[in-house]
Amino acid sequence: MKSAVKSAMTLLRARNLSKSFGGVHAVQNVDFDLGQGEIRALIGPNGAGKTTFVSLLSGRITATAGSVEFRGQDITGLPIHKRVRKGIAYTFQITSIFPNLTVLENAAIAAQNRCQPEAISADIRHDADLALQQVGIAHLKDEPAGTIAYGHQRLLEVAMGLALNPVLLIFDEPTQGLSDAEIQDFCALVKQINQSTTVLLIEHNMSVVMSLAHRITVFDRGRVLAQGSPDQIRDNAAVQAAYLGS
């Protein structure tokens, strides 16, 4: 059974957020509020604008229009590295590890990236070790990252996100390519992470979405089609027609 949302406080707020690529409106006038302590799922058909939307939130791409606030501060114009230092971490749909470096070195690079250049300290290795322990791959820390199993690479990517010490951790298709057992372990890990970190995830596996999410936001054609609890989304006729197929 999912725990309740921990706080009614708004952690992140987007207003009229839009992104166009030439004549293609990938995200159109989206209003979005994320509560502190939530696990929020973003769902929708392929091409609905989900990845573009979280890229706007994380600073990977810049908005055509609209605004983003995080912890009450306007971050619309901030580049990705400054958003990282404010506590926003984004793990990618495809593994983005450094294959020739060790597992520990990958996590340490992530931990270092959260710091101001002048603030890098001897604690970086310790923080990287803790992140690897949290996801259960500390025993692989001396292995080249490109040689470990795909499921372990996905866990390494989660560890790299955790090493950033995030307030908000964003996942993009985290269970893609994982076995059923690995998906089960991932869900348990997300619940553990959520004890201290707000989670936003794009996910196509509806079993994962329904078991993890406190609330769900449904995208369709660059707009928000519906928002609500898992039960509300499951029973929404517009969502059924556009996405759930029933």
Tens of pLDDT, residue by residue over 172-218, are 988 988 899 999 999 999 999 999 999 999 999 999 999 999 999 99
More confident site: 116 or 71: 71
More confident site: 114 or 110: 110
Is 60 exceeded by the pLDDT of residue 134?
yes
Is 80 exceeded by the pLDDT of residue 23?
yes
Percent of the chain residues topping a pLDDT of 70: 90
Topology of domain 1-78+198-246, CATH: Rossmann fold (3.40.50)
- Which pLDDT score is estimated for 38? 97
Contact 91, 190 (CB under 8 A): no
Is 90 exceeded by the pLDDT of residue 111?
no
- Which pLDDT score is estimated for 131? 94
Cα 204–chain centre separation: 14
13: enclosing H helix or E strand: strand 10-21
Is 90 exceeded by the pLDDT of residue 93?
no
- Round to whole Å and give the CA distance between 135 and 152: 9
Could you tell me which residues come within 8 angstroms of residue 110 by beta carbon, excluding any fewer than 6 positions away? 128, 131, 159, 160, 161, 163, 164
Would you tell me how many other CB atoms lie within 10 Å of the CB of residue 196? 12
Sign of CA dihedral 62, 65, 69, 74: positive
Q: What is the pTM of this model?
A: 0.90
Confidence of residue 246 (pLDDT cuts 50, 70, 90): very low
Residue spans per domain, the chain: 1-78+198-246
Is 80 exceeded by the pLDDT of residue 118?
no
Is 50 exceeded by the pLDDT of residue 65?
yes
Residue indicated by tokens 């609890």: 229
Contact 36, 71 (CB under 8 A): no
Cα separations in angstroms, 202 against 5, 82, 98: 18, 23, 23
Contact 175, 150 (CB under 8 A): no
Contact 71, 9 (CB under 8 A): no
- Which pLDDT score is estimated for 239? 87
Is 80 exceeded by the pLDDT of residue 96?
no
